[in-house]
Amino acid sequence: MSLDVCIIGGGLAGALAALSAAQHGARVVLVHHAPGATAMHTGVFDVDAAPARIKKIEIPENNDFSANIQDTLIANPHHPYARLGDNIPGVMRDALEFAAARLALAGLPLAGSTDQWMLLATQLGTLRRVRLCLQTMAAGDISQMKNANLLVIGPRGLDGFRPAAAAATIKHLADRVSPGLIGRSAGALIDAPVASHTPNLAPYHFAPLMDSADSRDEFFEHAAQAVKEHAATHVAFPAVMGVHDPAAVIDAASHRLGAPCFELAAAPPSVPGQRLENALARALRKADIPVVRARATGFSAGDKDVFSISVQTPLGDTQDIQASAFVLASGKFTAGGLARQDALVESLFDLPVFYNGWPARDTFMYDLVTPSFADSQPIFSCGLMLDFRLRPADQQGRRVWRNLFAAGSVLGGYDPFQDRCGSGVAMATAFAAGRAAAESAMGEQR
């Protein structure tokens, strides 16, 4: 098989890199062997750093997207955003708009913009400041509430969800941000649809019930009684309100209950992650991008270029895929893009891995972890370093292969858990790397 661009990895970064390369005229193939971190997506898209701990502050805290990005790069010059060109905020806005448009066409609309923060609650009751989220979560922007009477509703038996505890925590933290956003909060457990047939519900089992009109109506009937009892003005559900068209389910809930309804940001692994994977697959099909279900196991290359990769299917069959350019979007540890041996290594091309600008091979492994899980873990910020064309580079900043590009969490220089920018890195670098790979391949043809 020989095409213009081969994408290695099928998560958020890989799929968007493929879509970006195709938009710029390239014939694209995507190689994807198994779900990675996309399956753990919470439904909120972290783009630029925001405080992880909520404190009493003015709302909005800082709506200046460009200033936030600039502050991030001043604090961390190794951040992947630094490789997006001269107009970094502009590239990021283009990337986010591109991603949102493709997901919307694939049936998963997003809400929000780079112009302002949203303050959203999670299923645990914690608060998150985000720019973008699933449309089903947008009505839960606490910063836009005023003396709300919030009711958190969940079906009895849903694994890991405690509505009363979540409601109390949400109000406590909202009062710390700005008293008066939430006047009262309460939680309610209601009967799950009879079709569930079990007292112990996993989110993946409950969500499909909401795709059924009969089960949905039965559940909303119980929810309406709770809303009336608590005189709720806003209603929060766990992120299990359907798999195929959750926006329509939330709209139906708001109409039936007579109050704005929304989903809480999920805890991974999650139904929103399943929705995102499904939407990315639909987007690839709409763009006529073939997906090869196989694991990349090796490559061939000359002095400057990668010529092909070898892949193995689940049945053990092998083949070579030739392309004029390649984009590595293989993820970090969950998806297998990086592996821990005697030192951290990149799994396919044996590319140099860095921590804070220094080769990870020269770093003692135990120096990359700290005793407290709540602390920043250096190992999470390890990954590839890029040149200014989004190509993996060595310690001197020189590209390793002329036609190999990279995107997403395989990159180093940031900690997605502490820096709150994992989705932004995936979307922005994928958009830019896909375009760069297409330009490389198409330029070579010309």
pLDDT at 340: 77
Distance, in Å, from the CA atom of 8 to the CA atom of 327, rounded to the nearest integer, reads 6
Q: Does the global pTM surpass 0.85?
A: yes
Q: What is the mean pLDDT of residues 80-95?
A: 94
Distance, in Å, from the CA atom of 279 to the CA atom of 109, rounded to the nearest integer, reads 10
Under the banding of pLDDT at 50, 70 and 90, the label for residue 61 is: low
Would you call 113 helix, strand, or coil by DSSP?
Answer: coil
Say yes or no to pLDDT of 139 above 50: yes
Residue 242 near residue 210, CB atoms below 8 Å = yes
Neighbours of 248 (CB within 10 A): 16
pLDDT digits (tens, 9 = 90+) for 334-384: 888 988 777 788 999 999 999 877 787 766 566 676 766 666 777 888 899
pLDDT at 308: 96
Distance, in Å, from the CA atom of 93 to the CA atom of 81, rounded to the nearest integer, reads 12
If you ran DSSP here, which 8-state letter would residue 157 be given? T
Output the six-digit token pair for 87: 């107009």
Output the six-digit token pair for 300: 């061939």
Distance, in Å, from the CA atom of 329 to the CA atom of 426, rounded to the nearest integer, reads 9
Under the banding of pLDDT at 50, 70 and 90, the label for residue 333 is: confident
Under the banding of pLDDT at 50, 70 and 90, the label for residue 162 is: very high
For the residues of 376-439, what is the DSSP string, one character each? Answer: --GGGG-BB-B-TTS-BB-TTS-BS-TTEEE-GGGB-S--HHHHS-HHHHHHHHHHHHHHHHHH
User: Is the pLDDT higher at 343 or at 20?
Assistant: 20
Q: What is the mean pLDDT of residues 152-170?
A: 95
CA 374 to chain centre: 21
pLDDT digits (tens, 9 = 90+) for 277-325: 999 999 999 999 999 999 999 999 998 999 999 999 999 899 999 999 9
Residue 135 near residue 181, CB atoms below 8 Å = no
For the residues of 166-207, what is the DSSP string, one character each? Answer: HHHHHHHHHHHH-TTSEEEEEEEEEPPPGGG--SSB-HHHHG
Distance, in Å, from the CA atom of 77 to the CA atom of 356, rounded to the nearest integer, reads 9
CA dihedral 118, 407, 296, 341 (to 10 degrees): -90
Which domains does the chain show, CATH number per domain?
A: 2-41+64-104+275-428 (3.50.50.60), 116-263 (3.40.50.1860)
Task: Point out which residues pair with 110 in neighbouring strands.
Answer: 134
Residue 360 near residue 350, CB atoms below 8 Å = no
